[in-house]
Amino acid sequence: MVAFWYEFGEPKRFAKVPPCAKRRLPEIDLILHGKDFTAPNCHGAGAAIVQKGRFWTGQAQLLYQPPSQADAWVEIPFEVKRREPRRLLLKLTTSYDFGVYDVYLDGVKLGARLDLYSPDIQVREFPLLDFWPDAGLHKLRMVCVGKRDASAGHWLGFDSLHLRERRPRVERYGHDKDADWRKKPILY
């Protein structure tokens, strides 16, 4: 199908197009960058450093280097301003020296264990939960539970935590609004 427009006279400019840098889609995620959580109270035994690179959100990630599985954990506190439907997902690095981690939100275990080993370095998204988080403070905790035999370590590359907006109709229809995600954590 082809459409033609014929205009008489001088064309009129109805709106000014903003410069490219200002033409962005609306933010649909609430994002916390891993690089902001290197403080000693945010991790267990071992070093936590900012590793820079073009692969990661904000050009850097939190690289946590525990010497072993013992006392190996990372905590990311975050605040939710308004109760609305969100998908919790983590953007993590997988590599040849990374471990296996369990993920908890406010003390509730989410999903299966995350095996972060891969023979080559990759950055992946790990969706964990679809829920209506209450407004207020929350805490995500990742605990090392071991490593694959092929892995050279128990490390963790934490790019970012995302609370992704779910489709507008989820909020409009109130799907699972009254469900207690703590009793039954679900990922659709």
Instruction: Write the pLDDT tens digit of every residue in 61-82.
Output: 999 999 999 999 999 999 999 9
Specify if 9 maps to a domain.
no
Specify if 7 maps to a domain.
no
Specify if 21 maps to a domain.
no
Mind listing the pLDDT tens digit for each residue in 141-184?
Answer: 999 999 999 999 999 999 999 999 888 788 888 889 999 999 99
Residue 3: per-residue pLDDT:
76
Specify if 24 maps to a domain.
no
Burial class (CB in 10 A: 0-12, 13-18, 19+), 180: exposed
24 pLDDT higher than 80: no
78 closest CA partner among 144, 143, 156, 162? 162
The structure tokens 């539970």 sit at 145
Specify if 127 maps to a domain.
yes
29 pLDDT higher than 80: no
CATH code, 59 = 2.60.120.260
Specify if 188 maps to a domain.
no
Residue 27: per-residue pLDDT:
52
Share of the chain above pLDDT 90, in %: 75
Reported pTM = 0.83
Residue 76: per-residue pLDDT:
97
SS3 of the chain: helix, strand, coil, percent, to 5: 10, 45, 45
The structure tokens 């820079």 sit at 52
Contact 44, 66 (CB under 8 A): yes
Work out how many domains the chain is built from and give that number: 1
Specify if 146 maps to a domain.
yes
Burial class (CB in 10 A: 0-12, 13-18, 19+), 5: exposed
The structure tokens 């995500």 sit at 140
28 pLDDT higher than 80: no
89 closest CA partner among 159, 156, 138? 159
Specify if 11 maps to a domain.
no
Share of the chain above pLDDT 70, in %: 94
What range defines the domain where residue 151 resides? Answer: 31-173
> Which range, of 13-22, 47-56, 131-140, averages the lowest pLDDT?
13-22
Contact 160, 31 (CB under 8 A): yes
